[in-house]
Amino acid sequence: MKLSAKPHDDLNWQIEGNPEVFEFDLGLNDPYFPLEDELYFQSICAGLTHFTNEIWPRFPESKAILYRGKGDFSSFFSWSERQLANYQVWKEDRPQGSEDHLKRLFCAESFVTYFQMLAHRLPDELPLSIIVDPNQTGTLAQTLHLFSPERFEHFTLDTGLKFESTVGVCFPADSECSSDVIEKIDRLLSSLPSFRPVYEPLLTEQWEGLDDLIVIPEAVTAQGKRKLMGFVAAGGNVIELDDFEIRGRGIRTPDLLVPNQPR
């Protein structure tokens, strides 16, 4: 059931039946959404507080959708002077990458911070979902990097993308995801009949059901190496993505996957 809680809404919601899912319309996907507008923030927080006090106690088993819209938050981001300065500072701690992709990452993280502040006005027991459209979010590797579950922690993220495979492709920590690494992953993904994306920071939680895990060795952190040892100890096989060459439009698959050699 959709509940509109924009600043000028009267919050006189008519609840029918026994809704299992409430979807808030807070105007979060409006063009140039004002992340810095304190009055707007306080107004929509008042709507969420009203839901917490008056609606949720009647439906304590319900779930809620906090945002549904474009996954490319940069497409409607309000680039004030302050946000441009924040972006330049944020970018200093990132490896070199595509400007479009970096802006998508920055804007997504800015909105996630905003989502988290809004979530504080809702019951801790209320499961919250973020539903995003994954179209026009870059290449496949860029898209999967953007939608890392770690980036959207505390929320259930629904991209509509489904991956079923016993072969995992490990996305490195953000500190190691340079444009070169992302390009290598893109070339790898185009050569695989199936795969499942997993993320180094969440590796121990995500390796269940995997037989093989493909990694880019130069992008694995010290913590990641320890987690890979755990994956091998649990019976998994780690495959290093060795140097490979592109011939025309294709990738020579036999040269692509090189299993670890005993040391």
Mean pLDDT on 132-155: 96
Measure the CA–CA gap between 113 and 99, rounded to whole angstroms. Answer: 21
3-class SS at 122? coil
State the first-to-last Cα distance of the chain, in angstroms, to the nearest integer: 58
Measure the CA–CA gap between 215 and 194, rounded to whole angstroms. Answer: 15
Q: What is the pLDDT of residues 40-72, one digit of tens each?
A: 999 999 999 999 999 999 999 999 999 999 999
Who's near 85: CB < 8 A, 6+ residues apart?
none
- Which residue, among 78, 133, 129, has the nearest Cα to 106 in the 3D structure? 78
pLDDT of residue 246 exceeding 70, the answer is no
Bridge partners of 3, per DSSP, are 24
Helices (H), 160-242: 179-191, 203-206, 222-233
pLDDT of residue 134 exceeding 60, the answer is yes
Mean pLDDT on 64-87: 95
- Which residue, among 186, 188, 177, has the nearest Cα to 104 in the 3D structure? 177
Who's near 217: CB < 8 A, 6+ residues apart?
240, 241
Which pLDDT value is given to residue 142? 97
How would residue 243 be classed by pLDDT, with cut points 50, 70 and 90? very low
| Structure-token pair, residue 2 | 């959709």
Which pLDDT value is given to residue 263? 29
Cα 61–chain centre separation? 26
Residue ranges of domains in the chain: 1-161, 163-263
Beta strands of 82-222 (E only): which ranges? 128-133, 156-158, 167-171, 196-199, 212-215
Cα 193–chain centre separation? 23
How would residue 234 be classed by pLDDT, with cut points 50, 70 and 90? very high
Cα dihedral 61, 159, 97, 198 sign: positive
| Per-position DSSP letters for 33-58, written without gaps between them | B-TT-HHHHHHHHHHHHHIIIIIGGG
Residue 53 in contact with residue 17, Cβ under 8 Å? no
How would residue 201 be classed by pLDDT, with cut points 50, 70 and 90? very high
Who's near 28: CB < 8 A, 6+ residues apart?
66, 67, 69, 111, 114
The correct CATH number of 163-263 out of 3.40.50, 2.30.30, 2.40.50, 1.10.760 is: 3.40.50
How would residue 247 be classed by pLDDT, with cut points 50, 70 and 90? very low
pLDDT of residue 244 exceeding 50, the answer is no
Beta strands of 41-123 (E only): which ranges? 63-70
pLDDT of residue 258 exceeding 80, the answer is no
Residue 145 in contact with residue 134, Cβ under 8 Å? no
Which pLDDT value is given to residue 18? 93
How would residue 192 be classed by pLDDT, with cut points 50, 70 and 90? very high
pLDDT of residue 261 exceeding 80, the answer is no
